[in-house]
């Protein structure tokens, strides 16, 4: 390790009591200085990483924590200051990692980016915000590959997302249970069953209820006129359910009438 880093490691750390007696300005200065040292340390570790890789060393066991960024820092594609500054904001760090290193460094030191928002009146407005204050959603809106979107480009993204959301069907109270004619199935939420399976379940439940009670008295009749296609459907569903057409219709009526 070089003399500069060794000197940093040998600096005695202040006690909690000593920290409590320092002014807020002094503490902020100490924190900023420590972060700068950490970035320099990270840069040094990246050089060590690169040298070990040149020697053919397998470093896969060391790719944890901030070490996952060392190869990119060593290759000159990622600024060490940015890693320290945005370590707690992985989406922001991943987004700005594609920017030129000089731009990354400027943002790590407090640089701002334009962020388009929608106010209470539904109007677009652009605000300059420090990169470290961005949310994950804002970072995805602001950064695009190796560039930063302008307010006009951000508006186009937001408009496109709004149009897509309007076109997307919204589930209503009547859409949870629906018949898919193309697939010939009943869909309940994300589950589905064939019409025959539904009829079989209804018939099975109704027959079980009949077995638990007295036998029904068949003392009334009703003539229902059906179209040819309706008759074919009832015949097919009865066959799928393994019951007679009469029982199928009766059991479905019982279920529908909650008898």
pLDDT of residue 38: 80
pLDDT of residue 184: 75
Domain limits, the chain = 177-213+222-257
pLDDT of residue 168: 66
pLDDT of residue 171: 56
With vertex at residue 116, the alpha carbon angle to CA 113 and CA 122, rounded to the nearest 5 degrees, is 160
pLDDT of residue 1: 43
Our CA dihedral for 31, 36, 37, 43, rounded to 10 degrees, sits at 150
Q: In this predicted model, what pLDDT tens digit does every residue of 66-98 receive, in sequence order?
A: 788 888 888 999 999 999 889 889 899 999 899
**String of DSSP letters for 46-87:** HHHHHHHHHTT---GGG--GGGGGHHHHHTTSS-HHHHHHTT
The backbone torsions φ and ψ at residue 116, rounded to the nearest 5 degrees and listed phi first, read -90, 130
pLDDT of residue 101: 93
Helix locations, the chain, DSSP H: 3-9, 16-20, 24-54, 70-74, 80-85, 90-96, 101-108, 136-142, 151-167, 195-212, 228-241, 245-257
Spans of the chain below 70 pLDDT: 1-11, 32-37, 168-175, 195-196, 199-200, 202-226, 256-259
List b or e across 220-229, with b for residues whose CB sees 16 or more CB atoms inside 10 angstroms.
eeeeeeeeee
**CB neighbours of residue 163 within 10 Å:** 10
């Amino acid at each position: 390790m070089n003399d500069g880093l060794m000197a940093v490691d040998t600096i005695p750390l202040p006690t909690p009591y000593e920290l409590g007696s320092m002014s807020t300005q002094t503490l902020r200065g100490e924190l900023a200085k420590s972060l700068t040292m950490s970035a320099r340390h990270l840069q040094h570790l990246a050089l060590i990483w690169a040298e070990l890789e040149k020697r053919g060393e397998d470093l896969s066991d060391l790719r944890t924590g901030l070490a996952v960024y060392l190869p990119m820092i060593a290759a000159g594609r990622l600024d060490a200051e940015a890693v320290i500054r945005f370590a707690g904001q992985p989406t922001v760090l991943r987004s700005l990692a594609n920017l030129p290193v000089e731009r990354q460094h400027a943002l790590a030191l407090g640089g701002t980016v334009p962020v388009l928002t929608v106010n209470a009146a539904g109007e677009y407005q652009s605000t300059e915000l420090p990169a470290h204050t961005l949310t994950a959603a804002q970072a995805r809106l602001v950064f695009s590959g190796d560039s930063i979107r302008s307010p006009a480009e951000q508006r186009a993204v937001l408009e496109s997302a709004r149009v897509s959301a309007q076109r997307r069907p919204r589930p209503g109270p009547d859409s949870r249970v629906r018949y898919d004619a193309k697939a010939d199935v009943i869909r309940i939420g994300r589950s589905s069953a064939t019409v025959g399976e539904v009829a079989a379940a209804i018939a099975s439940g109704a027959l079980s209820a009949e077995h638990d009670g007295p036998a029904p008295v068949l003392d009334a009749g009703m003539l229902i006129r059906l179209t040819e296609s309706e008759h074919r459907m009832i015949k097919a569903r009865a066959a799928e359910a393994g019951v007679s057409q009469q029982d199928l219709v009766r059991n479905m009526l019982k279920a529908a009438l909650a008898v």
